[in-house]
Amino acid sequence: MTYIFANWKMYLSYQEVRELSIALSQEDFDEKKLKITVFPNTINFSDVARVFAGRSFAVGAQNVGWTPQGAYTGAVSALLFQQAGAKYALVGHSERRYIFNEDNEAVHKKMEACLVEGIIPVLCIGETAEDLKEQKREYRIKKQLSKALEGLNLKGKEIIVAYEPVWAISAGGKGTPCTPADADNVHGWIKNELKQYTKQNVPILYGGSVDSKNVLSYVEQGMIDGVLVGSASTKLDEFVKLVRRVESL
């Protein structure tokens, strides 16, 4: 089973999101081989969930609030996303951490909120270019894992980890993808590290400038269970090509 998760971020207009989801919902992908999930913005979320209902796609939240209900202006809770049909939620995406100053404590609370509400959290981790330069990659990733997971009751709970080196994310422009061998190596030791938190097998996805041309070089590696795709997932032809390539394996 290969995971293909599409993070549409805030790239598209309201109408473009509608059009892309309707066009995509008309494609049939092999559910025995692929787990495809689309992460639209919050405004389009319910509409996209309705478009994909009964199709071979799940929908996920790009971010969740950690309190279920109450006087929290502007927040949208994991509970609300669950009620609107979210199966997954991204937690701790680097754009949340570094642009919106989301710290490890908030990430931990969001992980907990997802688990309580029955949403599968996709914990995003990864080092910055500076970490890499200072040889702090392993330190950063281990710290992000421990702060997010320590103290959570993961028994019987599904979680996913996305390894996304911050320097590899395209952020609208051209990114520098991590080499597949390097990513595979990091996935190997993340898998090992995760054993202290859960007995379950945790799928680990690679994210950072994945497109239809390089996707196979990642998913063919032994330790990479799938991909989290940003920019390339927002263009219909490119994304369908990417998915078809993985499906052909």
Element (H, E) at 94: helix 94-98
Helices marked H in 26-77 — which ranges? 45-52
| Subset of 161-180 contacting ligand PEP (CB under 6 A) | 164, 169-170, 175
Distance between CA 125 and CA 15 in Å, rounded? Answer: 31
Is residue 186 helix, strand or coil? helix
Q: Applying CB under 6 A, which of residues 2, 4, 7, 112 lies at the interface with ligand PEP?
A: 7
Distance between CA 175 and CA 180 in Å, rounded? Answer: 14
Q: Decide if residue 126 touches ligand PEP (CB under 6 A).
A: no
Residue 245 CA to chain centroid, in angstroms? 20
Nearest-CB residue for ligand PEP:
230
- Site track 200-239 with ligand PEP (rule: CB under 6 A), x = hit: -------xxxx-----------------xxxxx-------
Name the residue nearer to ligand PEP (CB basis): 141 or 232. 232
User: What are residue 171's phi and psi, to 5 degrees?
Assistant: 45, 45
187 in active site: no
One of 19, 93, 95, 247 is an active-site residue; which one?
A: 93
Length of the chain: 249
Question: Minimum CB separation from ligand PEP for residue 207, in Å?
Answer: 3
Question: Minimum CB separation from ligand PEP for residue 161, in Å?
Answer: 13
One of 95, 112, 164, 187 is an active-site residue; which one?
A: 164
Q: Where are the beta strands (DSSP E) in 31-119?
A: 34-39, 58-61, 88-91
Q: Which two tokens stand for residue 135?
A: 């040889």
Size of the site for ligand PEP (CB under 6 A): 14
Residue ranges binding ligand PEP (CB under 6 A): 7, 164, 169-170, 175, 207-210, 228-232
Q: Which residues are catalytic?
A: 93, 164
